[in-house]
Amino acid sequence: MRTKRLAIALATMLAAGCGGAAETPAAAPATSAPAGPVSLTYWTWAPNMDKIAEVWNQANPDIKVTVSKQAGGDDAAAKFLTAAKAGNAPDLVQAEYQHLPSFIAADAVADIAAEAAAVKPEFSAGLWGLVTLGTESVYAIPQDSGPMMLYYRKDLFEKYGIGVPKTWDEYAEAARTVHKADPKVYLGSFSSKDPGWFAGLAQQAGAQWWSISGDAWKVGINDAATTKVADFWGGLVQEGVIDDMPYFTPEWNKALNDGTQLSWPSAVWGPGVLESNAPKGKGKWGIAPLPQWNAGENFSGFWGGSSTAVSAGSKNRAAAVKFATWLNTDPQGIDLLVKEAFVYPASGKGQAALGAPPAYFAESQPDFWQQAATIGTSARGFTFGPNVGVTYNAYKDAFDKALQDKSPFSASVGTMQDTTVADMQKSGFTLAQ
């Protein structure tokens, strides 16, 4: 609470302030076409990307890439959309798969099919679908992906006498066993703050939140698969055998570190999180495929993952695509991505290039990358819609409310569906019935 405010009218400035920015004239691009060296700006939050760009700049003096480090997450998407609206977007931008459709809908990223179609064979059909939305256009080049798996404490699973759950039924049984043995200990937590996590679990169950049929969007967030996933977790939370603290909070970190959370259904980028948040668990965690809905099945979903897109306003599209292609498909680029930026590359040949396991898993899971690669092939995704921000925000609010009111989780899925559809109708999207 601060009372330094000058005028009552300041309340209007929040929205107006960014509007003001929108009126500033577009920054003039440094160069126009092939004449002379080209200068590109690149917004990304991958670590050490400036070093990787430096390697490129040394080898390609005619295309100079300047990296501007971003804060990642939903804020980065909002920032890019605002910059694009203001006409001063960077040439290249790291775009998470779920935000790419919003970028396309806002006309903020370029269709690079002419320049980039040739790299299609590098990627799995599922990932390629995420950057084309199933159309003839190509809106970005996949960079990394986040197939989901189950991280678990090997030593504590042994201590509580539970095996690695093969099905979600076994997972529920294990959750009961563990919590009964020690009421302070939980097998895992349901996070109402991580819609991407829930989307991945829904993908595993076969959900299709959005799809394009002809000239219309179909929204199916409350489909049978998603409702099944929601009610499964809702049941465990209401039974009290699964915790409900959000991920990535100090409290959750503490629980991971002191061994009161025994597992985490997460993505391939999990080691970095565990290493910094649960240093005491080094050498004690293992990975396994996600529990399945039906015994004998083998499916996973995606949580996170991003691509490199070229902004619609870029005056140097060809050069930008050239860099993005090198970064994500050239052996040298992929090698740097793996070693410097610690990403799990989207490119098929990149995954084969992964060598030593992350240090955190060196003792407990020396075959980390082989396991991850096997699990990765079983992951299935879905098309993201043009208003993921609305849906994801609805997830947070609806599940927060469900946890507070102890109401059924399937109702929250219904709220997500209704909010998403209402927003699309308000904007005028054509919706299939």
- Residues in the site for other proteins, rule: CB under 8 A? 1-3, 5, 7-20, 23, 74-75, 78, 81-82, 101-102, 104-107, 111, 133, 135, 137, 192-193, 212, 215-217, 244, 246, 248-251, 254-255, 386-387, 389-390, 393, 396-397, 399-401, 403-404, 423, 427-430
Going by C-alpha positions, the residue among 285, 11, 269, 323 that lies closest to residue 148 is: 269
| DSSP letter for each residue of 206-274 | T--SEEEETTEEEE-TTSHHHHHHHHHHHHHHHHTSSB-PPTTSHHHHHHHHTTSB-EEEEETTHHHHH
Comparing CB distances to other proteins, the nearer of 293 and 429 is 429
Share in percent of the chain as helix, strand, coil (round to 5):
50, 15, 35
- Shortest Cβ 151–other proteins spacing (Å): 20
Amino acid identity, residue 64? K
Question: Minimum distance between the CB of residue 294 and other proteins, rounded to whole angstroms?
Answer: 31
Burial classification of residue 163, based on how many CB atoms lie within 10 Å of its CB (0-12 exposed, 13-18 middle, 19 or more buried): exposed
Instruction: Name residue 38's beta-bridge partners.
Output: 63
Q: Give yes or no for a contact between 59 and 277, defined as CB atoms under 8 angstroms apart.
A: no
| Distance of closest approach, residue 256 Cβ to other proteins, in angstroms | 12
Nearer to other proteins, 298 or 427 (CB): 427
**Cα Dmax for the chain:** 72
Smallest gap from Cβ 26 to other proteins, in A, equals 17
Smallest gap from Cβ 68 to other proteins, in A, equals 19
Distance CA 125, CA 143 (A): 14
Which is closer to other proteins, CB of 139 or CB of 368? 139
Do residues 40 and 89 lie in contact, with contact meaning Cβ atoms separated by under 8 Å?
no
Q: Are 279 and 257 in contact (CB under 8 A)?
A: yes
How many angstroms separate the CA atoms of 403 and 343, rounded?
34
Question: What Rg value do the Cα atoms of the chain yield, rounded?
Answer: 22
The least distance separating other proteins from the CB of residue 7, rounded to whole angstroms, comes to: 7
Query: Considering the complex, what minimum distance in angstroms separates the CB of residue 50 from other proteins?
Result: 26
Which of residues 75 and 367 has its CB atom nearest to other proteins in the complex?
75
- Whichever of 205 and 416 has its CB closer to other proteins, that residue is 416
When the beta carbons of 32 and 404 are compared against other proteins, the nearer one is 404
| Beta carbons of 92 and 320 less than 8 angstroms apart | yes
- CA dist 268 and 49 (Å) reads 20
Closest separation between CB of residue 79 and other proteins, Å? 8
Is 250 or 296 the residue whose CB approaches other proteins more closely? Answer: 250
Query: Is the CB of 33 or the CB of 431 nearer to other proteins?
Result: 431
